[in-house]
Structure 1
């Protein structure tokens, strides 16, 4: 196991480097001059050149990339062209909001998705199975922005039950994350319903499950103690990838619900050509994605003792 983990860690290095190169090239070759966006259209060419020189944008592309990666290895992702703050500090300020939103979205998606999927598999071809299938189809069809606005209208404007925007101040206020968490995790929830259903249907037909039933164990014990553990292996795989994906895909949700997280920061940085912020956020999300995938691979051995990495 230790050898496998070390090998996988070394495999992460070229992935991170590749992502950094692609991001750097995209932000460098995209039309638009960040200096002009900062200073405006009516600034003298000499001033533009001076600012470009001060930011190092007049250096060769390879030199800028190597300098950026060297600084990034030391935790320095540069300074925002627009806000004139260290990108690393901006990330530290925004990460808690996005992390809380992602955790709430994942908790809603996995909990309800797995339970509904198990119910659908156990009650195959019943009314509950049909209802779960309909739920899964709508989940992958409904746009996140539309669902978010409908949730705001229903629970915030009409029923006045939950807040529709903001984080509620310092600290973690669950009520402020329920609506955006549901909107963000709804599509994943529908996917977990289908994934859990198909996996559970396969597992409950295995010999060891039939043996457990033959021993006289109750259906609840057979499903939740014997079958569910193995049925959750593909769910765990998808959940690992989803967590990082939701962190990077929360742009619309954070914008709709006015949450000051990484998603909204990335959106503003892209629109303003704030290269250091875009690159810093992208590298951070890439690192989160590959680390979570590593943890998911390790969790296989916990969920299924038959899996070994020797």
Structure 2
């Protein structure tokens, strides 16, 4: 057997690898999604009626200054050339210059991104840590129509908590735990205590929704034949629930939970402004008020990439939990 034959068979084996095909499909979707996001961010700025430079400098700014700023930003170039320059700059990490501070947009984002990332990751972890055990416990307690009062209380409470907007919950938390009781700081990012209220404000609503999803999916799984077989073998209860029921219930939970956690990333905008959190949320509000379009564009890109990465992480988690159904050809 020649080395060429061996190499051909090796390549064929790689091509037939389901995980490789899954990775290629997900990577292709991610690249297309990133291109759509980048194009939308470009069009958002360049198709807005009016002159963004004049809007940022004010109506009293000298015409020479306006023309100089437009030339520096490349706004006098043809539209297609602006788009190519924009893509080239993104590939080199150049996001432009802030119209208000004069700082590079990459520096502005780099200074504010860690605060938002810490807030979003902490809130997502807390939401999952609350929702999964609570949903599983409620499914065990209420399976087969048992404990109707527990089911009614859980359903009513989760519906109410899920319906409360993040900013309204944030204001309530500030008033109760910050102003009235004085237990934790109500503004800024200084020490572990300052994370408590904003993380809670972001995590409570998604946790309530996810807990209901976990409960419903777990109830469905508990009626499956393989769970009945596990019980017939007299396996310990914790093995039945944690090894057999929970992993199968998490498939649908993660699918819907990815949408909620992706929305949580965008929800940081309102919560950050309530708590004066020095992240991207407060930055984009200040940039909108100051008509700082390059910074707005950069923040939109970061938030969009955050949502795409959350969805990618969910896809990978689903593939690990249920490889046979997830990594098959679409």
Asked whether 1:147 is paired with 2:188, we answer no
Residue 94 to residue 238, structure 1, CA distance change in 2 (3 Å): farther
Tell me how far apart the structure 2 counterparts of residues 308 and 109 of structure 1 sit (CA, whole Å): 24
Tell me how far apart the structure 2 counterparts of residues 119 and 308 of structure 1 sit (CA, whole Å): 27
Asked whether 1:185 is paired with 2:207, we answer no
Matches within 5 A, 1:194-213: 194-213=212-231
What's the counterpart of residue 11 of structure 2? none
Asked whether 1:164 is paired with 2:186, we answer yes
1:174 aligned to 181, 192, 196, which one?
192
Deviation string for 1:96-135 (max 9, x for gaps)? 1111111221122111122221222222252222121112
1:67 aligned to 77, 85, 91, which one?
85
What's the counterpart of residue 273 of structure 1? 291
Contact 1:96 1:261 in 2 (8 A): yes
Contact 1:119 1:129 in 2 (8 A): no
What's the counterpart of residue 295 of structure 1? 313
Deviation string for 1:198-257 (max 9, x for gaps)? 111111111111111112223333112221111111222334444443222211100000
What's the counterpart of residue 286 of structure 1? 304
Task: State the Cα RMSD in Å.
Answer: 2.0
What's the counterpart of residue 160 of structure 2? 138
What's the counterpart of residue 57 of structure 1? 75
Give ranges in structure 1 of 5+ residues lacking alignment.
none
Asked whether 1:5 is paired with 2:23, we answer yes
1:277 deviation in Å? 1.6
Tell me how far apart the structure 2 counterparts of residues 218 and 76 of structure 1 sit (CA, whole Å): 58
1:57 deviation in Å? 2.0
Tell me how far apart the structure 1 counterparts of residues 200 and 326 of structure 2 sit (CA, whole Å): 36
What's the counterpart of residue 47 of structure 2? 29
Tell me how far apart the structure 2 counterparts of residues 282 and 39 of structure 1 sit (CA, whole Å): 22
Tell me how far apart the structure 2 counterparts of residues 243 and 75 of structure 1 sit (CA, whole Å): 27
Q: Which stretch has the larger CA shift, 175-184 or 274-283?
A: 274-283
Residue 71 to residue 18, structure 1, CA distance change in 2 (3 Å): same
Residue 301 to residue 24, structure 1, CA distance change in 2 (3 Å): closer
What's the counterpart of residue 235 of structure 2? 217
Matches within 5 A, 1:232-251: 232-251=250-269
Tell me how far apart the structure 2 counterparts of residues 32 and 165 of structure 1 sit (CA, whole Å): 36
Contact 1:248 1:285 in 2 (8 A): yes
1:305 deviation in Å? 4.7
Q: Which stretch has the larger CA shift, 265-274 or 248-257?
A: 265-274
Asked whether 1:260 is paired with 2:278, we answer yes
Contact 1:188 1:242 in 2 (8 A): yes
Tell me how far apart the structure 1 counterparts of residues 88 and 267 of structure 2 sit (CA, whole Å): 28
What's the counterpart of residue 7 of structure 2? none
Number of residue pairs matched by the alignment? 306
1:280 deviation in Å? 1.8
Q: Report SS of the residue matched to 1:123.
A: helix
Tell me how far apart the structure 2 counterparts of residues 291 and 153 of structure 1 sit (CA, whole Å): 34
Contact 1:300 1:307 in 2 (8 A): no
Deviation string for 1:174-220 (max 9, x for gaps)? 32111111111222111102211111111111111111111222333
Q: Which has the higher helix share?
A: 2
1:144 deviation in Å? 1.5
For the pair shown, which has the larger CA radius of gyration, 1 or 2?
Answer: 2
Tell me how far apart the structure 1 counterparts of residues 294 and 300 of structure 2 sit (CA, whole Å): 10
